[in-house]
């Protein structure tokens, strides 16, 4: 059996009982280590599981899947994913490869940012399309995400924006020269994300993202213990103006609040607002949120 197992959001104890049983019974255990990160080191997983964990980077998952799937038709192999297994298309792809080889597959689900985002107070059924925001460069500023945000805005739906991470990435020069030299890990912060989105708005000028009147909620380390989890709400301008330490350690996400927001959602999120009075004012006067 080839098991694809969600680890949840925080540490080694977030795995489900069913997932832990599958790990303990597997002959090999891989940890997908590039679409997201855990808040702990690999050795804590190995100590908890009582067996070694093989890190599977992008290159291994995308080009060496045969090695990961080796003998999975005769024994159990576990492939661990931070969050839920279907949080990234990569995991769908490796399941399809296993099926093509006649290997039985089983998915064991867990919490992910896609449902844990409800911690900010916005109702999950009011969310539209989720988008990803990648790091801009001097020559590359992709804006296709803006069209998805615009569609959500037009429907009054909230938008979850997942922020880019760069793990074991090569520079253009090293990639061109075939040198296996990797850049240090980078994780997009909330201020960087807001700055990029407003940069896109200044280019597109379709009034989808207004710094003064678009409400947003920043989240980091959702599901973390103690003070690890951070939630900060405000206008885009207010979030952009906060010092980086306000948002805590990565991973970061941000939600663009939709116009169909209910006043109870606003009241819940007000606890996280930079300026509670302005949060209510914008929700009432710009979003037309009755009941405030």
- The binding site consists of 9, 84, 87, 112-113, 163, 222, 252
For residue 289, the SS3 value is coil
Per the structure block, which two tokens stand in for 107?
């998915």
What would the DSSP string read from start to end of 138-197? Answer: SS----HHHHHHHHHHHHT-BEEEEEPEE-SPPPHHHHHHT----PPPEE--HHHHHHHH
Distance separating alpha carbons of residues 21 and 108, to the nearest angstrom:
11
Distances (CA, A) of 1 to 59, 98, 105, 225: 23, 10, 6, 33
Binding residue numbers for S-adenosyl-L-methionine? 9, 84, 87, 112-113, 163, 222, 252
CA dihedral 169, 174, 177, 178 (to 10 degrees): -30
**Residue 247 in contact with residue 232, Cβ under 8 Å?**
yes
């Amino acid at each position: 059996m080839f098991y694809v197992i969600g680890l949840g959001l925080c540490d080694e104890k977030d795995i489900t009982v069913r997932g832990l049983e599958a790990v303990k019974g597997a002959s090999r255990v891989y940890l997908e280590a590039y679409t997201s990160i855990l808040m702990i080191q690999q050795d804590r997983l190995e100590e908890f599981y009582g067996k070694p964990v093989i890190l599977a980077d992008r290159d291994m998952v995308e080009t060496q899947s045969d090695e990961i799937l080796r003998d999975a038709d005769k024994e159990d192999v576990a492939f661990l994913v931070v969050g839920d297994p279907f949080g990234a298309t990569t995991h769908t792809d490796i399941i399809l490869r296993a099926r093509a080889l006649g290997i039985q597959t089983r998915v064991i689900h867990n919490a992910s940012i896609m449902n844990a985002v409800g911690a900010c107070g916005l109702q999950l059924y009011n969310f539209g399309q989720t988008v990803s925001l990648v790091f801009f460069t001097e020559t590359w500023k992709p804006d296709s995400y803006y069209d998805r945000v615009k569609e959500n805005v037009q429907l009054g739906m909230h938008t979850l924006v997942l922020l880019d991470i760069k793990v074991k990435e090569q520079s253009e020069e090293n990639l061109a020269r075939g040198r296996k030299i990797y850049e240090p890990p980078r994780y997009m912060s909330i201020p960087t994300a807001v700055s990029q989105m407003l940069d896109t708005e200044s280019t597109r000028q379709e009034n989808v993202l207004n710094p003064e009147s678009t409400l947003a909620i920043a989240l980091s380390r959702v599901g973390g213990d103690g003070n690890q989890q951070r939630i900060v709400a405000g206008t885009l301008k207010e979030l952009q103006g906060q010092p980086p330490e306000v948002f805590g350690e990565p991973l970061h996400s941000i939600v663009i609040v939709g116009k169909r927001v209910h006043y109870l959602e606003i009241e819940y999120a007000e606890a996280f607002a930079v300026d509670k009075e302005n949060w209510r004012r914008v929700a009432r006067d710009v979003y037309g949120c009755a009941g405030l």
